[in-house]
Each structure stands twice: as C-alpha cells, then as structure tokens.
C-alpha cells in the first residue's frame, strides 16, 4: 500500500504514471519563454532526509487501538506515517522537499469495517487523540494535514481496508460502496453488475468514495452524471456520539436534508464508512469531439446557452486562450502552424478549445443528442476540430503526473477553483487573474494563468485556474501563499469592501487553506451552525482538528 501513498507523484501516482510524467523539450522551451528563467533545480529529497518526529501516541492509547483493529493495523513506522503526512497541494509537495514543516501523524490506524471505525473513535475520545480521516490523501486544501488541535497525539485513520461493494439494488439503481474504495476499483466492482458511477475527477486514480463525499467532489463528466453530491442517496457515518445513517427515500420533506450536512463535512463531523450511490448502466458508446470558439466571452456564452437549453454533453469543458494555447501547441501533437492557419481562415483570432464527450446507450442516441448541441454551437461560431476531443481524453490524467517534473525544474505550479452565477463569471475571472498576476509577476515576467470551465449549470459555472510561475527560491512557500491569499481575498471579498464574487471552493473543499474565508461566504451565523453540529456529534473535538471549522489551537 505504501507505494500508492507515496507523495512522489511521478513514480507513484499510479504504477503506470511514469509515461505521463514526461515533459517534452518544446514544453520546456515554451515555459522558459513565458515565465523566464526557472528556479534552482530541486530534485525530490529522499525520504531518509525528511525529519520525522517520534510518535507521541501513548502506550495505553496504542494498546487500546490494537485491541480494536489488531496490532498489525496500528502503524508507527517512519515511512507509514510520512506517507500520510498531508495531501497533494503545491505546499504539501514543497513540504516534502524541505520547504515548510510537515504535520506527521503519530500513528496510522487501519480499521477493517464500520464497527471498528466507531470503536476507534471511542478509544480516541477516551485517550484524547485527534483523528484525521484519510482516504486517497489527494486533498489539495490541507484536508489531511495531521494537525493536533491541542490533543496529546493525532492519528491518520486510513480507510483503505473499507474496500467493498456492500450491495447493489438494480431495481432502484443504487449501490452501497465502502468509503475506502478508490475510483478505478469502484468502477470495476460496479461493472460486474453492468453499472457505472461516472465520477471521474482528475484524481480518479487515487481518490476514494469517502473522500469524494467528504469534499463534495466534481468529476470531469459532471455535466452528464452530476457532481458527487448529486449521486449520494445515503450515508453511514461513525461519530464519537454514535453511528448515524441517513437517506431512506429519493426525496423527503422530513425537515432539512441532513445528508447535505455530511456531504462536504471533511471529516470534521464524522467518518463516512459507507455511501449509497445512484448508479447508471455502463454506456455502450462514447464519443469525444473538439470545437474551437473565438475568444473566451464567446466560448462562455456558448457554454451558457448549452447549459440553459439542457444540451450540455456529459463532459463539457471550455479552455480560455492561454489553456488552449498549451493544448493546441504542446499536447495535441498537431502541426500547430497548419491548424492555426485553418482557424484564421475560418475567422478564429483567439482560439478557445471546447471539448465535448458523450456517453450513451448507442451511437444513434449520442448522434441525436449531439445534433442539437452542435446546432447551438454553430450559432456561436464554433468550428469543429473533432480529433482534439479524443486527444484531450487520452491525456486527461497527465497533469498530476507532470507536477513533480515541473517542481524539479523550479516551477511554481498550482491550481485553484471557484464558481459564480453566469452574470458574475467574467468579473470573477478578471479579479482572480488580476490578483494572481499582481502577486506572481517578477523580473519582468508574468505568470501563466490558464482557466477553464468544466462544470456548468443553468445558473452559472465553475472556474478552474492553473498557475505556472518561476519559483522564488528564497521563499517558495511564501510566494504561493501570498498569491493564493490574494486570489482568495478577491473571490471571497475579504478585506476588499465588496461581497463574495464567487464561492471559495467549487469542489476542492475548505480544509485548512480556505477556513479563514468561510465566514465571508456562509456568515458568522453559518459558522456557528456548523460549530453547533460539531458540538453535537463530536463534543470532545477529536475529529480532523483545524479543518473546515477553525478550532482554538491547530
């Protein structure tokens, strides 16, 4: 299991990840031209060079945990604890390269089933031990950082052994999966019943069912299958106050929907042990196509028209000019000059790439859906460049694999995401770009800021930014923290005098990184409601200290 939890992504994001980690020479030339000379090369430090403090788990607590899960499932070795020290944000990756302090758990505990999870929580209450639920460890907001919150010690509660498909109800099209099942395994288990979840975030290869639910994840095919929270019909949650099971019918007027309190609770209100999910038949046919629109505004208008007409493809993803430039020149493998000439002849001055992907029970059904979508796109001047869709599909998991290579080259590389109603989408994008550019421009070079919409709704859309800048070697963590703070202030309105322009997170969650901005979005009253809920289920405050709701001492 350790190899998959290793944070050196290039070799271990998945066993197949090596191929996708490669950065072609033309990519490096392009990067250097855009962001200037890169920082000092900082190869990944060997594990042995990272300082790992001794475990502070007391002997009585350890013995009690072993009595619940077995001695082999309470791990206090250096490598095991290091492998669950934080998630996969840029700051986490820097910490593994000696920039900043790693929060290392005192032990890793691996329960076998929901009952053991509940008993582990009892032990932790008794012995004043903090608990960080750990799924795939792909959090990019500090969600799995092992903060103590004033507790004597803290464990990573690794849910990897909760790896079963519990039941399938084909009549209702529901399946119950345990929390530790990873994306590919969930699809494999469901495919045996002819079913699919259709949830494919970019972290699909590592992230888990419990993690998706705890963060309100959104996958690449969210336009067709919905966000993960749309798929959840029920949850089973272990809390220090007892077990909580929610979801008995497809809809209910029995008071507020408390499943929504669990979705996005980030391990602060309980440990999700099982999730009942809406599933669909495995599609018989799939088709990906590319289109190019002239400029961001026209592209976004086309996407809005599709969303409001109910004609989004299952995957619908619009890249802005900068992101399209990268896709067209670096990844597509096309003769760029020829493609550009073609687009110019067709009247496209500022290419914005739109990828559409359809799933369906037959090619005929896909063609029927596609027809109306293409008609609407035609009204917005879209030009079909069909193969670009398939090229995107093939490379869609390469990004995570290339991050270590970029870090080795001295690149500050990170993403952030938000969402707004359509009427505010452009203002939000401009504000985030201005904030990031201001914070990251150095030596006459501006950062590369790419943006895409990959989750669209009738009323609005998410904006996903990828940032590349030359790393400031004196203080690489501070460089990104300043940029991220500026972007968060712009989004949330904190300290700016204007209200929120968008949400502080569309699908990455709050974690540590966004906790300071939550009140701007949900109000102090909202934070109070969350704190009251926490008090009800976790009065001793053992669950995921410092995440979602700020506790006194991190």
Cβ-count burial 366-403 (b if 16+ within 10 Å, e if not): beebbeebeebbeebbbbbbeebbebbbeebbebbbbb
Verify binding: residue 541, ligand FAD, rule CB under 6 A: no
User: Which positions from 268 to 307 touch ligand FAD by CB under 6 A, shown as an x/- string?
Assistant: ---xx-----------------------------------
The residue (of 304 and 547) whose beta carbon lies closer to ligand FAD is 547
The answer to whether residue 183 forms part of the interface with ligand FAD (CB under 6 A) is no
225 is catalytic: no
Q: Which of 75, 134, 121, 82 is nearest to 103 (CA)?
A: 82
Q: Which of 90, 212, 225, 464 is catalytic?
A: 464
**Token code pair at residue 120:** 């582990």
Please give the structure tokens belonging to residue 224. Answer: 């067709």
- Of 71-79, 204-212, 321-329, 445-453, which part binds ligand FAD (CB under 6 A)? 204-212
137 among annotated binding-site residues: yes
130: contact with ligand FAD by CB under 6 A: no
Q: Is there binding between residue 221 and ligand FAD (CB under 6 A)?
A: no
The structure tokens listed for 5 are 């939890």
> Which tokens belong to 109?
């505990």
Asked whether residue 502 is marked as a ligand-binding residue, the answer is: no
133 binds ligand FAD (CB under 6 A): yes
Residue whose token pair is 């949330």 = 492
Between residues 131 and 425, which has the closer beta carbon with respect to ligand FAD?
131
The Cα 193–Cα 195 span in angstroms is 5
Radius of gyration of the chain (CA): 23
Of 314, 233, 248, 223, nearest to 279 by C-alpha is 233
**Which of these ranges, 52-60, 134-142, 188-196, 307-315, lies near ligand FAD under the rule CB under 6 A?**
134-142
Token pair of 282, please? 């495995």
DSSP state of 447: P
Q: Per rule CB under 6 A, is residue 332 in the interface with ligand FAD?
A: no
Smallest separation (angstroms) from ligand FAD to the CB of 347: 33
Of 111, 211, 290, 410, the residue at the interface with ligand FAD (CB under 6 A) is: 211
Distance in Å, CB of 443 to ligand FAD, minimum: 28
Decide if residue 239 touches ligand FAD (CB under 6 A).
Answer: no
If we measure between CA atoms, which residue out of 205, 229, 201, 225 comes closest to residue 215?
229
Strands 74-75, 271-278: parallel, antiparallel or unpaired by DSSP? unpaired
Q: Please check if 329 is assigned to a binding site.
A: no
Q: CB of 554 within 8 A of CB of 545?
A: yes
Nearest to 180 by CA among 195, 197, 167, 165: 165
Stretch in the footprint of ligand FAD (CB under 6 A) among 16-24, 266-274, 280-288, 444-452: 266-274
Burial class (CB in 10 A: 0-12, 13-18, 19+), 540: middle
The secondary structure of residue 501, as a DSSP letter, is: S
> Residue with structure tokens 């790439």?
353
Phi-psi region for residue 463, left (φ > 0), alpha (ψ -120 to 50) or beta?
beta
Check whether 436 is labelled as a binding-site residue.
Answer: no
Interface with ligand FAD includes 328 (CB under 6 A)?
no
Spatial separation of the C-alpha atoms in residues 239 and 478, rounded to whole Å: 36
Among 32, 202, 485, 496, binds ligand FAD (CB under 6 A): 202
Task: Establish if 201 lies at the interface with ligand FAD (CB under 6 A).
Answer: yes
Using CB under 6 A, which of 140, 195, 313, 453 touches ligand FAD? Answer: 140
* Residue 20 lies near ligand FAD (rule: CB under 6 A): no
Is 271 annotated to bind ligand?
yes
Of the residues 196, 215, 223, 505, which one makes contact with ligand FAD according to CB under 6 A: 215
413 binds ligand FAD (CB under 6 A): no
- The nearer residue to ligand FAD, 217 or 503, going by C-beta atoms, is 217
> Which residues between 489 and 518 bind ligand FAD (CB under 6 A)?
507-509
Binding segment for ligand FAD (CB under 6 A), chosen from 122-130, 137-145, 521-529, 534-542, is 137-145
| Residue in 521, 513, 519, 518 with CA at minimum distance from that of residue 147 | 513
| Rounded distance between C-alpha atoms, residue 134 and residue 85, angstroms | 10
* Chain Cα centroid distance, residue 224: 18
Nearest to 109 by CA among 50, 43, 63, 155: 155
- Positions touching ligand FAD (CB under 6 A) are 87-88, 132-140, 143-144, 159, 179, 201-203, 207-208, 210-212, 214-215, 217-218, 266-267, 271-272, 400, 507-509, 544, 547
Positions at the binding site for FAD: 133-139, 266-272
Catalytic residues: 464
Positions at the binding site: 133-139, 266-272, 403
């Amino acid at each position: 299991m350790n190899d998959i939890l290793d944070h050196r992504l290039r070799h271990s994001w998945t066993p197949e990840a090596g191929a996708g980690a490669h950065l072609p020479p033309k990519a490096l030339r392009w990067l250097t031209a855009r962001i200037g000379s890169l920082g000092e090369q900082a190869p990944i430090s060997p594990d042995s060079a990272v300082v790992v403090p001794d475990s502070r788990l007391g002997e009585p607590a350890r013995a009690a945990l072993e009595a619940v899960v077995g001695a082999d499932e309470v791990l206090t070795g250096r490598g095991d604890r290091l492998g669950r020290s934080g998630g996969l944000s840029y700051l986490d990756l820097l910490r593994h390269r000696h920039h900043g302090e790693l929060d290392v758990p005192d032990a890793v505990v691996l329960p076998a089933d929901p009952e053991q999870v509940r008993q582990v929580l009892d032990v932790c209450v008794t012995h004043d031990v903090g608990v960080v639920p750990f799924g795939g460890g792909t959090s990019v907001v500090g969600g799995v950082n092992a903060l103590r919150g004033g507790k004597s010690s803290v464990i990573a509660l690794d849910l990897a052994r909760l790896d079963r498909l519990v039941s399938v109800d084909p009549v209702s099209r529901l399946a119950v999966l345990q929390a530790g099942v990873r994306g590919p395994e969930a699809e494999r288990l469901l495919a045996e019943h002819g079913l699919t979840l259709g949830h494919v975030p970019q972290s699909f290869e590592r992230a888990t069912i419990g993690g998706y639910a705890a963060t309100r994840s959104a996958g690449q095919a969210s336009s067709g299958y919905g966000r993960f929270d749309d798929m959840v019909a029920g949850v089973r949650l272990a809390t220090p106050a007892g077990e909580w099971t929610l979801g008995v019918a497809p809809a209910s007027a029995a008071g507020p929907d408390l499943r929504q309190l669990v979705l996005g609770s980030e391990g602060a209100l309980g440990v999700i042990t099982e999730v009942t999910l809406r599933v669909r038949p495995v599609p018989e046919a799939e088709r990906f196509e590319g289109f190019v629109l002239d400029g961001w505004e026209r592209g976004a208008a086309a996407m809005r028209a599709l969303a409001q007409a109910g004609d989004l493809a299952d995957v619908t993803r619009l890249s802005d000019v900068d992101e399209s430039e990268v896709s067209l020149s670096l990844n597509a493998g096309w003769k760029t000059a020829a493609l550009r000439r073609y687009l110019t002849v067709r009247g496209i001055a500022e290419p914005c790439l739109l990828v559409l992907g359809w799933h369906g029970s037959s090619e005929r059904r896909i063609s029927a859906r596609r027809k109306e979508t293409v008609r609407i796109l035609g009204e917005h001047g879209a030009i079909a460049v069909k193969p670009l869709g398939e090229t995107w599909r093939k490379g869609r998991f390469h990004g995570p694999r290339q991050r270590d290579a970029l870090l080795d080259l001295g690149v500050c590389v990170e993403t952030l995401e938000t969402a707004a109603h359509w009427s505010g989408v452009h203002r939000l994008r401009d504000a985030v770009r201005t904030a990031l550019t201001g914070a990251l421009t150095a030596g006459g070079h501006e950062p590369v800021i790419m943006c895409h919409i990959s989750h669209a709704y009738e009323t609005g859309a998410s904006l996903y930014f990828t940032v590349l800048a030359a790393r400031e070697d004196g203080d690489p963590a501070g460089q990104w923290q300043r940029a991220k703070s500026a972007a968060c202030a712009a989004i949330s309105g904190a300290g700016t005098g204007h209200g929120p322009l968008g949400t502080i997170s569309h699908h990455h969650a709050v974690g540590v990184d966004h906790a300071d901005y939550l009140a701007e979005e949900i109000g102090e009253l909202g934070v109070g409601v969350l704190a009251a809920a926490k008090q009800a289920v976790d009065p001793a405050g053992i669950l995921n200290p410092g995440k979602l709701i700020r506790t006194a001492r991190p």
